Amino acid sequence: RRLSMLAYAPEPAVSLDGARLRCEVNIESMRDFETFDVAHTDGVGLLRTEFLYMERSSFPSEEEQYRMYRRVVETMAGRTVTIRTLDVGGDKPLPYFKVPPEPNPALGWRGLRIQLQWPDLFQAQVRAMLRAASEGNLRILLPMVGSLEQVRQARRVIQEVGENLREQGYDVPESVPLGIMIEVPSLLFVLPQVMAEVDFVSVGTNDLVQYLLAVDRDNSWVARLYQPTDPAVMRALEQVATAAKAAGVPCSVCGDVASDPVAAVLLLGLGYDSVSVAPHFVPAIKFAVRRCTVEGARRFVRELLECSTTEGVKQALGRMREQLF
């Protein structure tokens, strides 16, 4: 089956009735490019920059970051490259950056929270990103956003950095799209306001499930309770897509939920524009999307949204899986 799936890698993910789901990839380092053909993807939907910070003994300089972002943008040859600002802390410690032990690391000093409190770190990364933006189609993605204030604060820093760069003679595009991860549940209750202030959104289901269900994503004692198929997660995914559509904001899912081909069909039915997954999942997603209709996917969505239990959602997903494979 896996071999026959590979035949779908070069095809676009277009349903039988012509709806298209963009298939982007999650990347951590330049090494990832050895594992897939960029011509088979629509872009990088998530570059996790923390790996550039992790595999070393001190913070990377602006210049080192610029060189890496530029290489990614060049390698993607005009396709969208979505670079996430540093998302360390919580489950991703940095060996050379000791923080005092926290009682609840997942709720603590992590992601954008660190960068907003530590302007030097944030500015160096944003400078590197904006410099690379002149070489291709780059977008900036903010992790762990919990409020509109944080979006505004980050946007202000990015604008200031852009102005400084231009004063110093760098060629920086007038506007670089700024998007956010939807992974902190507070945003679910202010979606119209959020959509009015961002250029795109990407749902991080790994953290969203953790925070929505109050279940640690890395604790094996509660692994059974970590259920991406919880009806609350389905509703959250639906509400994000609906609010994004209403505002004309492109929306994507870059958490692990999207890597299941059946879930990709569900996301197409919900109205998501794209999924972003580890490169080896792309062929199976294309296979599934090419075998469904968007009408069928929407019926499937209605069925799923009526489920009141995880078990019900799982059974509905199972029926769809049988239809598709």
Residues that bind Mg ion (CB under 5 A): 183, 204, 207
Stretch that binds ligand PEP, among 5-13, 147-155, 198-206, 298-306 (CB under 6 A): 198-206
The yes-or-no answer on residue 251 being catalytic is no
206 is in an annotated binding site: yes
Q: Which does 48 bind (CB under 5 to 8 A by kind): ligand PEP, Mg ion, none?
A: ligand PEP
Beta bridge partners of 202: 181, 252
Indicate the residue among 104 and 168 with the shorter CB distance to ligand PEP.
104
DSSP assigned state of 60:
P
89 belongs to the binding site for ligand PEP (CB under 6 A): no
Between CA 27 and CA 30 the distance in angstroms is: 8
Chosen residue from 42, 183, 230, 260 binding ligand PEP by CB under 6 A = 183
Stretch that binds ligand PEP, among 112-120, 131-139, 204-212, 291-299 (CB under 6 A): 204-212
- The answer to whether the CB of 288 falls within 8 A of the CB of 261 is yes
- The answer to whether the CB of 305 falls within 8 A of the CB of 272 is no
217 is in an annotated binding site: yes
| Tokens 């490169």, residue located | 279
Beta bridge partners of 89: 92
155 is in an annotated binding site: no
Beta bridge partners of 182: 203
- The answer to whether the CB of 297 falls within 8 A of the CB of 23 is no
For Mg ion, the nearest residue by Cβ is 207
Q: Name every residue whose Cβ is closer than 8 Å to that of residue 303 and which is 6 or more positions away in sequence.
A: 316
From the candidates 251, 254, 292, 307, give the one annotated as an active-site residue.
254
255 belongs to the binding site for ligand PEP (CB under 6 A): yes
Which residues inside 235-254 make contact with ligand PEP, applying CB under 6 A?
254
Catalytic residues: 254
